Structure 1
Amino acid sequence: LKLRLLMRASAKYADAGARIAATAALPLLSAATDKDASIAYVGTNTVNSWVGGSNNWGNGGEFERRRPSKTLVDKMLSLNDPRVPVWFAPIENPWTSDAAKDGVSFATTDPNGYTYSSTWEYVDVTKPEIAAQVSNILDKDKVYAGFIAGMFGDFKNGNGHYNTAAGGTNGNFKVSKFSKLFQQNTHALLKAQIMNKDEVQFVLAEAAVKGYITGNADTYYRAGITFSMKRWGISDAAITTYLAQSSIALPGDSPGKLAKIAEQKWISLFSVAAEAYLDLRRTRLPNIFSNGLLSTYTFPNRYRYPGNELGQNVTAYNIGVATLLPAVDDEFSKMWLLK
């Protein structure tokens, strides 16, 4: 945790490198036998269950309306990432450009044994309802597809979904859901995560590129990927195949290395949303903003102060707001860490 926080604040401390080096020299989560700092879910009530399970979201709208982003799914598919079928469900009614496959159903069993049924639908532009959605059909001939972050009210038409009457408020048969793993109250792969070995290795990889420590950035980087995949039950053989790809290799230049490390760290933080956001806020890597919709929005930098501070702690509240840039209590002002 100290290593994480030092890297997060490294731009504000002249001696950040020395502090990080001293911390990196301490015993860390670095061996395959080291356990992640995480807590298993008991799964008996709303408090001790995974949030997506029947004790919380269940099979209802809360789970249905949360979909993986197209940015993440596309990136993982382009890298042949074996975590895709662990995290995401096959599309229920995927598009096909092959008329012969129209109406053909197929079953999929994911690595955790959960089963899914899908049926291909031909992009038949002679049908008015399909022709009207052609511009929205971004993924066809694919079993997995994500939803474009920032579409908001257009969710029901994501990837050309037109059967909104059947889909209801939250349904979309043309975009993947999260896998059934995330509908469980408890599972060996679902943990309340505090600090994982993979995050430690990615921080060390970044520190090595920046010259804070003398270790090998590539070694840390590959260890981070390996630990992340093993945390999700990926086999050694699949990990070896993944790491052997040229698209995974670190480039020769430092900016390129930092970008690649950030990309893999971002993927590995998939179920640790707060840390993924904070790292993105710090580095602006990977560049996930230019999806055609999010690029028009100002990136949020902070939470607003709680409303009760105005009534119960107004003096300290005013002092705090005065330190922001600009001195406005909203999500876009910068605190000392970001100035």
Structure 2
Amino acid sequence: MKKLHNKFVIIPLLLACMIFSCKDLTELNENPNGVAPETVNPNLVLPTILTEAGKLYVNLGYQDIAGVVQHTQKDAWSSGHNDYDWGGDQSWNAYYDVLRNNDLLYNRALQTNFEFHQGVSLVMKSFMFGLITDLWGDAPYTNALKGEAGSTADILPSFDSQDKIYAGIIADLEKANTLLSKSKADYEGIVDNVDVIYGGNPAKWRKMANSLMLRYYMRISGKQPDVAKAGIEKIVANAAQYPIFASNADDATMGFAGNSEADSWPANTVTDASGSNYRRIKMCATLVERMQTLKDPRLGIWANKVEVPLVIDPKQPPKTDKIVDGKRILSPDKVGAEPVDTDPEYVGMPPSFSALPSSYNLNPTPGQTSFNPHVSFLNDIYKAAKGPLLRARLISAAEVNFILAEAALKGWAAGAAKDRYEAGVKASMETWTVGDKYAAYIATPGVAFDNTLKQVIEQKWIAGWTAATEAWFDFRRTGLPALKAGPAAKREVLPVRFYYMQDELRINKANAQDAVSKLEVTNYSQADNGNSAWSKPWLLQGTGKPW
């Protein structure tokens, strides 16, 4: 009986094996609830690419890079934001995750002959690889995104030089310009609502491609001026073939749904009920004081007035410290040698001024959970999870006009520098709802055009609010505005790149070390052994910028 029992168990098993051996094992391993990469509709992939790219960009420009370019400072958990203490391990994994999805989008768009999606994919590829090389320097590019191929060269890709990456970006944008040149009715597969930037509008994506080309031509202008000049002049001279942003309606921006932390404006007080992330971001004195000097109406859109102004009154008796009519009245002896700002409206925090920034301006509650009533918080609009002004701003008409103003100042055929500059200022003011104050502002001393690069870059720096990454890249390239590191900063000057992450240095050691060896070690690189935020990549080598 035991033998018969074994026979009846074994025979069905053998039959099952014979049946299933005729089938592809990958077929058996399919997820019935998933979508196979080889059959996925491009419209299912596109929203993830756009939203994740937008979040990455706004998190740079609203968080630590806003600290670098002194738009904001933090009064708690502040060392990365204020002092550039980045720990030497800044990961690009999220950027390559977007690029892997984007590569899938492009391949599926090729297979389905969705030319609109091909064009959009090339624009986003350029945007993301542009960010990677701008932030880190040399990076995997030609052999990136090929890990599934399985060869060592694909799994451990070599790093392309910056000049090759920028050339590839510009070439892809040229291709996108052609792919996106038809009317919307001539494309297949467009689903408007999955395009969270332009709602399926090919003409606007085409303008974005060419506007990004202007960005990257200007980026390489210090190293390859002839290439940059020819590229910018070609675009400007051929408006029909190379349309660019003409107004704020063309801006590449992404709103937020505001339903959860994952799809909300960062550091809001809706998904973060404690409000700590919002509360610790303060206006930086560098930006505040310059905007006050220029009587810039955008300041009131971005910042709250101080809740309790300080008043130092020498007529008060010693040890006076009291609240009167909403003001804190102090006798001079209560202040001593402490730095104070008694501006009755807006007070910014000095950049990297102390290891305990929450103590600034005689804050009565210094510490990680402080609430400083004597420094300007961001405007209450930044407490919200979504809103008309809470957008990831990838590139704008204001930026395009400032690029062309700079090109004109170089003597390139890019229009009149004054006209371009004023158009950039006006576009930014309209974006931030104060366009009605443009006429008065543009006539203000310091704003009225003076034909200098310093002024153009300063206004571009101001206009870069919440998109401060471009301001950092401009500072590295031009040394403008002349930002100075504070006394508590990790180095005496501002950083110029991100660190290659330790995983890359360990796992892809030979290629990563080769990239590190091509960085220019400076007097500020110190113990970082080449892979320093103060080592210069190709883009800055030999330029004498920014320091």
With the shorter chain as reference, the TM-score category is 0.7 to 0.9
Deviations 1:93-130 (A, max 9, x none): 11125679x7454xxxxxxxxxxxxx21123235xxx2
Match of 1:85 among 290, 300, 307: 300
Larger Rg: 2
What's the CA shift for 1:56? 4.7
The residue number in structure 1 matching 2:335 is: 131
What's the CA shift for 1:5? 1.1
Deviations 1:47-75 (A, max 9, x none): 21100223554552222221111010000
The residue number in structure 1 matching 2:232 is: 20
The one-letter code of the counterpart of 1:124 is: S
Match of 2:392 among 192, 207, 210: 192
Indicate whether 1:143 and 2:320 are aligned. no
Indicate whether 1:2 and 2:213 are aligned. yes
The residue number in structure 1 matching 2:520 is: 325
Match of 2:378 among 178, 191, 194: 178
8 Å contact from structure 1 (residues 90, 176) kept in 2: yes
TM-score, with structure 2 as normaliser: 0.54
Deviations 1:112-162 (A, max 9, x none): xxxxxxx21123235xxx234x5311x21421110001124231221233x
What's the CA shift for 1:294? 5.8
Taking a change above 3 Å as real, the CA distance of residues 302 and 296 of structure 1, as seen in their structure-2 partners, is closer
Q: Structure 1 unaligned segments of length 5 or more: list them.
A: 106-118
Taking a change above 3 Å as real, the CA distance of residues 264 and 294 of structure 1, as seen in their structure-2 partners, is farther
Distance 1:250 1:334 in 2: 33
The residue number in structure 1 matching 2:117 is: none
Written as runs of structure 1 = structure 2, the 5 A alignment for 1:186-265 is 186-236=386-436, 238-252=437-451, 257-265=452-460
Deviations 1:247-283 (A, max 9, x none): 211225xxxx100001000000011021111111111
The one-letter code of the counterpart of 1:9 is: I
Taking a change above 3 Å as real, the CA distance of residues 3 and 57 of structure 1, as seen in their structure-2 partners, is farther
TM-score, with structure 1 as normaliser: 0.85
Distance 1:152 1:43 in 2: 35
Distance 1:160 1:287 in 2: 28
The residue number in structure 2 matching 1:49 is: 264
The one-letter code of the counterpart of 1:120 is: K
What's the CA shift for 1:295? 11
Partner-residue secondary structure (3-state), 1:320: helix
Distance 1:60 1:77 in 2: 28
Written as runs of structure 1 = structure 2, the 5 A alignment for 1:95-174 is 95-97=310-312, 103-105=323-325, 119-125=326-332, 130-132=334-336, 134-137=337-340, 139-161=341-363, 163-164=364-365, 169-174=369-374
8 Å contact from structure 1 (residues 58, 183) kept in 2: no
Distance 1:168 1:303 in 2: 26
Distance 2:266 2:490 in 1: 30
Indicate whether 1:72 and 2:287 are aligned. yes
What's the CA shift for 1:211? 1.2
Partner-residue secondary structure (3-state), 1:38: strand
The one-letter code of the counterpart of 2:370 is: N
Distance 1:311 1:251 in 2: 51
Indicate whether 1:297 and 2:499 are aligned. no
Indicate whether 1:308 and 2:503 are aligned. yes
Taking a change above 3 Å as real, the CA distance of residues 20 and 191 of structure 1, as seen in their structure-2 partners, is same
Taking a change above 3 Å as real, the CA distance of residues 291 and 324 of structure 1, as seen in their structure-2 partners, is closer
Instruction: Give the number of equivalent residue pairs.
Output: 312
Q: Which runs of 4+ in 1 moved over 4 A?
A: 55-59, 97-100, 290-296
Deviations 1:6-25 (A, max 9, x none): 10111111322111111334
8 Å contact from structure 1 (residues 3, 20) kept in 2: yes
Taking a change above 3 Å as real, the CA distance of residues 295 and 306 of structure 1, as seen in their structure-2 partners, is closer
What's the CA shift for 1:299? 2.4
8 Å contact from structure 2 (residues 484, 493) kept in 1: no
The one-letter code of the counterpart of 1:216 is: A
Partner-residue secondary structure (3-state), 1:6: helix
Partner-residue secondary structure (3-state), 2:222: helix
8 Å contact from structure 2 (residues 304, 379) kept in 1: yes
The one-letter code of the counterpart of 2:500 is: Y
Which is helix-richer, 1 or 2?
2
The one-letter code of the counterpart of 1:121 is: R
Partner-residue secondary structure (3-state), 1:153: coil
8 Å contact from structure 1 (residues 52, 58) kept in 2: no
Partner-residue secondary structure (3-state), 2:394: strand
